[in-house]
Amino acid sequence: MKLQFKVIFFLSVFAVSCGLESQTNTTDERPNILLILADDLGWSDIGCYGSEIATPNLDKLAQDGLRFTQFYNTSKCFPSRAILLTGLYAQQNGFHRTHTNPISNGITIGEALKSAGYRTLWSGKHHGIESPIDKGFDRYFGLRDGASNHFNPGHQREGELPPAQKRPDRVWLIDSVTHQPYTPSKDFYTTDEFTKYALNWLEEYKNEKNPFLLYLAYTAPHDPLMAWPEDIEKYKGKYMEGYEAIRKRRFAKQQKLGLISQKHQLSEPAYEDWSAMTKEQQEEEDLKMAVYAAMIDRMDQNIGKIIQKLTDLNELDNTLIIFISDNGGSAEVPNVPGEGEIGTLSRWSSLGKSWANVSNTPYREYKNYSYEGGINSPMIVHWPNKIQGGKIVNNYAGHFLDIMPTLLDIADVTYPSSFNSQSILPLAGQSFFKAFDGVDVAREKPLFWHWRNGKAVRKGNWKIVLHGSDKWDLYNLKDDPTEMKDLSTQHPEIVEELANLYQNWENENAQIVAGQ
C-alpha cells in the first residue's frame, strides 16, 4: 500500500482540483497512517505509563517509538475528537458545546488525505451527526453517537437479560447504511468488532499502491464496564490492596521509567478510605477495577492483531502509528437502570471517582476538568522507518490540534484556504514532525481550553486554570507539573496577561460562530 513516485503527478493534479496540493519531494513513497484513539483512558492506565495492566503491544510500540508526557486533549470526548479530525479548536469547528451539529469551518483528515491519494478507513466511535463517508472516508463501521453497551447496543436478544442502555436508539453505520438500533450477534464486543473491520479492510486493499489512513477509534475503556469473563479473571483480586497502594505503585513505576521527574509530586489523594469499607464494598470496587483493566487488556490484544497484520503485509516499517486517549480518566457515574453482575451486558457500572484518581496518577482531577488529570493524554508514536525508539519527549507541550498538521506534513500535503468552493479557517495547531528526528520542538502559540465549567491557558511553562469559579489559579508546570502550588498571588501580572489572552481568544471565536 505504498505510493510510488510515478503516480504522484496524477495525484497532485487530482489534489489541486479539490483545493489540496500534494507536494513532491525526494522520497518515492509516503507512510501509511494508523491513528488509534482510546476512550476515557487515564494517563497511567497502560504499562509503559506506569500501570500494572498487561499492555505488551502498546509497551512494545513505546519501546520502539516515542512517548510524550505533555500532550493535551480538551477534557471531553466529542470536542477532542472533532479537534483531532479538523486541527481546529472545538470553538472554531462548532463542537465546543454539542456534537449535534455538522463540522464547520474546516475539513477532516479524511478529506485532506483522500484528496491527496490516501485510502481512508475509519472503524469505531465518531460522536457526531455526520456520516464519515460524507467527510472524506472511503469506509466506515462504528458508533456514530457517544457511549453504548459493549456487548449489545440494540434490542434484547433471545435468552439474554435486557442490555443496559443510556439510550436504545444509538446510531450505528456500516459504510452508508444506518442501523438504529443496531442489534448484533451474541459474539459481538465493540473492541473486537472494530478491529475485525479494520483487519478486513487491510486485507481487502493490500494490493493497492497508494498508502492508507486507518483511524481506529475504540470505545474502551469508557463505561459501561463490560468485558469478556476470561479477561476479567486475570485481574480479579489484584485490586484488593486498595486505591492508595495501587496509586503509589504506579507513581513509583513512572519514576523508574523516567516518565516523570523529581519535581513531580503525587497530587493530593481524592479516593475513599479503603480500610473503612466493608469486605463486600472492597470486593465490588476490586471487581470494577478488574473489569476496567480487562477492557484495556482486550484493547491491547486487538492492537496486537493490527500490528501482526501490518507485519504480515510487510507494511509495519513504513506505517506511522499514533496511540492516544481522548481525555483523562472519568469520575462520571451515570444512573442507568439494569441488573446483573458488574461486567456483564445487563449492568451499566462505572469506574467512579476513587479509581479515576488512580487512573490519572500522578495528576489531579479528571475528565471534564482543565487540570492536568483531565487534559493530559498518554501518547505513543511509532514509525520504524523514521523513529529511533525508546525516547521520552517531555519538553513539548503538544495538543490534539497538532495531529492534523503533523499528518499533512508527513503526507506532503498543503492545507488549503478553501475546499469545495467553501472558505475554511487556517489550522490552529502546529506540526511536531521534527520531534521524530529528536529535534526539540517549541510551542509557537499559547494553548487554550474551555469545556463547561473549566477554563485554562498555557503559555510556555505558565498555566492558569479555573473550574466553576471566577478565580484563576496559576502554576509553573516546569517546577510544579502536578499543579500543587498556586502562584496567583505571587504573580498577579502573569495571571492578568494570560487571562487577557484567554478573553481575546474567546472573543475571536465568538465572532467566528456569530458569522456562520
| Residue 485 shares a structural domain with residue 417 | no
Query: For residues 328 and 240, what is the distance between their CA atoms, to the nearest angstrom?
Result: 24
418 and 461 fall within a common domain: no
Residues whose CB is less than 8 angstroms from the CB of residue 423 and which lie 6 or more positions away in sequence, other chains included: 417
Domain endpoint, select from 425, 445, 465: 445
User: Which amino acid appears at position 181 of this protein?
Assistant: P
Give the C-alpha distances (Å, rounded to integers) separating 193 from 137, 182, 275, 297.
19, 13, 40, 15
Q: How far is CA 408 from CA 107, 109, 156, 168, 492, in A?
A: 12, 8, 44, 38, 40
User: Which sign, positive or negative, has the C-alpha torsion 256, 262, 268, 273?
Assistant: positive
**Average pLDDT, rounded, for the chain:** 93
Q: What percent of the chain has pLDDT over 90?
A: 91
Q: What is the pLDDT of residue 508?
A: 94
Give residue 234's pLDDT band: very low, low, confident or very high (50, 70, 90). Answer: very high
Q: For position 463, which CATH number holds?
A: 3.30.1120.10
- pLDDT of 273 over the 80 cut: yes
Q: At which of 401, 425, 445 does a domain end?
A: 445
**487 and 397 in a common domain:** no
The single residue listed with the C-alpha cell 487540570 is 371
The residue-averaged pLDDT of 422-442 equals 95
Which residues lie across from 475 on neighbouring strands?
A: 463
Within a domain: residue 43? yes
Q: What is the CATH number of the domain that holds 315?
A: 3.40.720.10
> Residue 222: inside a domain, yes or no?
yes
The enclosing H or E element of 414 equals strand 413-414
Residues 217 and 131 in one domain: yes
Task: Express each pLDDT in 61-104 by its tens digit.
Answer: 999 999 999 999 999 999 999 999 999 999 999 999 999 999 99
Give pLDDT, residue 421.
Answer: 85
Residue 190: predicted pLDDT:
98
* Pairwise CA distance, residues 326 & 85, whole Å: 12
Label residue 48 exposed, middle or buried (CB < 10 Å: 0-12, 13-18, 19+): buried
Q: Are residues 493 and 440 in the same domain?
A: no
Digit-coded pLDDT (tens) for 23-40: 444 433 899 999 999 999
In this prediction, residue 444 carries a pLDDT of 93
> pLDDT tens digits for 323-353?
999 999 999 999 999 999 999 999 999 999 9
Which domain does 110 fall in, by range?
Answer: 5-232+291-356+366-445
pLDDT for res 509: 93
Of residues 413 and 12, more confidently modeled: 413
Cα 116 to the center of its chain, rounded Å: 25
Helix axes 56-63, 279-312, angle to 10 degrees: 60
| 379: nearest Cα among 303, 327, 324 | 324
Helix (H, G, I), strand (E, B) or coil at 426: coil
Q: Which residues pair with 463 in a beta bridge?
A: 458, 475
- Name the residue type at position 30: R
Work out how many domains the chain is built from and give that number: 2
